[in-house]
Amino acid sequence: MSERSEVSGLSGTGPSGTNGSAEYVRRAEKLDAADELAPLRGLFTLDDAVYLDGNSLGALAAHVPGRVEDVVRRQWGELRIRSWEESGWWTAPERIGDRIAPLVGAAPGRIVVGDSTSVNVFKALVAAVRIARGEDGGTPADGATAHPVRDEIVVDASTFPSDGYIAASVARMTGCTLRPATPADVPQVVGKRTAAVLLNHVDYRTGRLHDLPALTAAVHAAGALVVWDLCHSAGALPVGLDEHGVDLAVGCTYKFLNGGPGSPAFLYVRGDHQDRFDSPLPGWNSHAEPFGMRGDFEPAEGAPRGRVGTPDILSMLALEAALEVWDGVSVDAVRAKSLALTDFFLECVGAYVPPGLVESLTPAAHAERGSQVALRCAPGIDAGAVMKLLVERGVVGDFRQPDVLRFGFTPLYVGFADAERAARVLAGALTA
C-alpha cells in the first residue's frame, strides 16, 4: 500500500451515474471478499445501518451482555464480597491493562485501567512536571544536578477541550505558564523552561495523525517529558509506546476498543519512570498496603501507583469482555484496512458528491491520517442538518460545530460496502 493515498482531494466530477455507482459497488464487493478482518463483523451487534461513529462510541461485542449478566447475577448476586478475590475483581485494573498493552506497543505491567481519561490526564501531567523538576526526589529528567527552573507546560493548541482545561489547571497548581502550540511547532517551542508537553496523537476534529516518534524525541532533547492522549489512536493504529520512549500516555476505551459508554480509561507509565511516578491523587488503592489502613502514604510498586479508589467493576469487566474480540488480531492488519477504507471512502465521495459541496480536512498522506475522515461543508450548507438526514437514511456519523461531518472507520466491523453506501447517501443528503 502506498504511503500516499491516490485521492489527492475531493475534486471529482460529482455524481458518476448508474454505471459509475455500479463500478464502485463491484469494487467494494471484491475488497470485502478479500478482507481478512471481515469475519470479525459477526462478533458485534449491528443492524442494517452503516455505523461510522466508532470514534465516539464503539459497537457492542455480541458476547458482552452475557458476560455482564454473569458479573451482576453470579459474581455480585451470589459470591458478593468474595468476588474481589475469587472473581479477580481486585486485580482487574492491571490485568485489563495488560490486555490493552500489546494494542499500543507496551510491555506487561506498564498500563493500569481506571478512572476517566480526564482524571488520568491530570495524574499524568502533574507527575510529568514533578519528574521533570526532580520534585519526586530523583534526578531531574534532563539529568542535571543544578537544573533550570522548568516552569512551562506546552499543550496542543488544537487539543480536545477537557485536555486543555486540565492542562490550564495543572499549570496553575504547579506554578507553570501554559503555552499552547501546534504539534508541528513543538520542536521549536520546547526549551530549558519546558517541564512537560501534552499532545494528542490524532486530532479529534480532522483525523490528522501527529508524528509521535519525532515529537517525543524533540521533547526529550529539550529535557522535558511528554504525555500523549491516545483516545483516537488506541485500537486503530500501531502506537509503539515502549519503542519510541514515550514517558506517559492516556487513552479512553469506549471508541476503537469498544469498551462501552463511559468505560474506564487507561494510564501508561514508562518502565523507568514508575518508581518516580508521584501521583497527585494518592488513594488507598495505590497504597503499597491498601488494607493496612495506615495514616502515611507509601506508593505501590509499578503500574498500581496509577490507581486511586475502588475500581468500577461493572464497566471494567464489560471492557475486559469486549477486548476479547482482539484475540489473534494484528494491529498492523487493522491499520492497513483503515487506510484502505478511508482511501476508498474519499474516492467514492469525490466521485459521487458534486464539486464544491465538501472538502476533506483529513490528510491524504497515510503517515498523517488516523482512522476517521472529516469533511467540511461549504458555506450555506447546514452540516448539522446534513448529518441528521444521513442518520435518518441509515448512515451514522457525527457532527462538530460549526461545519464538520466526521466519519469514523472501525476496521473490526466496517467494510468497503459500508464506505461506498455512506458516500452515496452523503451525496444524496447534500443535494436534497
48: which residues sit within 8 A by CB, 6+ positions away? 394
Which one is catalytic: 208, 376, 406, 424?
406
255 tagged catalytic: yes
Which one is catalytic: 24, 122, 254, 345?
254
How far is the C-alpha of 372 from the C-alpha of 346, rounded, in Å? 11
Over 44-71, what HEC string results? EECCCCEECECCCCCCEECCHHHHHHHH
Cell numbers placing 328: 489473534
Handedness of CA 172, 174, 179, 182 (dihedral sign): negative
Which one is catalytic: 35, 53, 98, 229?
229
Q: DSSP assignment, residue 270? A: -
Task: Tell me if residue 177 falls in helix, strand or coil.
Answer: strand
335 tagged catalytic: no
Which one is catalytic: 255, 305, 307, 335?
255
How far is the C-alpha of 249 from the C-alpha of 241, rounded, in Å? 8
Cell numbers placing 202: 490524532
**Of all helices (H) and strands (E), which one includes residue 83?**
helix 83-86
Q: DSSP assignment, residue 41? A: G
How far is the C-alpha of 223 from the C-alpha of 147, rounded, in Å? 10
73 tagged catalytic: no
160 tagged catalytic: yes
Cell numbers placing 335: 491499520
What pairing do the DSSP bridges indicate for beta strands 266-269 and 111-113?
antiparallel
DSSP 345-357: HHHHHHHHSPTTS
291 tagged catalytic: no
Task: Tell me if residue 196 falls in helix, strand or coil.
Answer: strand
Which one is catalytic: 160, 268, 277, 345?
160
Cell numbers placing 100: 490493552
Which residue is it, cell 462501552? 260
How far is the C-alpha of 49 from the C-alpha of 214, rounded, in Å? 39
| CA dihedral angle for residue 21, residue 26, residue 29, residue 33, rounded to 10 degrees | -160
- Which long-range contacts link 87-91 to residues 24+ away (Cβ below 8 Å)? 89/311, 89/313, 89/317
- Residue 172: how many CB atoms within 10 A of its CB? 10
**Of all helices (H) and strands (E), which one includes residue 316?**
helix 313-322
| CA dihedral angle for residue 350, residue 356, residue 357, residue 360, rounded to 10 degrees | 60
Q: Helices in 175-283 by DSSP H: which ranges?
A: 186-189, 212-221
Catalytic residue set? 160, 229, 254-255, 406
